[in-house]
């Protein structure tokens, strides 16, 4: 099969799993499907950054339906911590990006 299709399937799988895990509140478990996709589907290193962005997109899509409760909770956490509100959201996206990239790197290094 063509490597291009492997990359497209992997990105769609990451978006769907990030959405499902983010919707149910287990977004930190995104490393598990990332390891599996890294093991089976990663052929090039440039794909890893694109897949990290795809997982952030899945988490963002999961935040949209429950905007009132989850964003309000993040606002409360940021006001308690004394940091700007947008920093909590950016930190969440940064963490999911790093978790996905780490999982893909672990999976692809096991495969090599």
pLDDT of residue 99: 92
The series of mean pLDDT values per 10 residues for the chain, 112 residues long, is 67 88 86 88 77 86 76 80 83 89 89 74
Distance from CA of residue 55 to its chain's centroid?
3
pLDDT of residue 24: 87
Separation CA 103–CA 106 (nearest Å) = 5
Q: Kindly report the pTM of this predicted structure.
A: 0.79
Of the candidates 42, 41, 59, the residue with the CA atom closest to the CA atom of residue 97: 59
Domain spans in the chain, listed from the N-terminal domain onward: 3-111
User: Can you read off the two tokens belonging to residue 7?
Assistant: 């990359």
pLDDT of residue 32: 92
pLDDT of residue 27: 82
pLDDT of residue 4: 64
């Amino acid at each position: 099969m063509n490597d291009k299709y492997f990359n497209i399937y992997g990105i769609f799988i990451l978006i769907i799993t990030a959405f499902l895990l983010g919707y149910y509140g287990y977004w930190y478990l995104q490393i598990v499907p990332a390891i599996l996709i890294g093991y089976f589907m990663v052929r090039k290193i440039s794909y890893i950054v694109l897949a990290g962005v795809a997982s952030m997109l899945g988490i963002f899509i999961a935040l949209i339906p429950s905007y009132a409760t989850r964003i309000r909770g993040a606002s409360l956490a940021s006001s308690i911590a004394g940091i700007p509100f947008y920093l909590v959201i950016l930190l969440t996206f940064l963490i999911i990006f790093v978790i996905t990239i780490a999982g893909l790197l672990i999976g692809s290094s096991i495969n090599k």
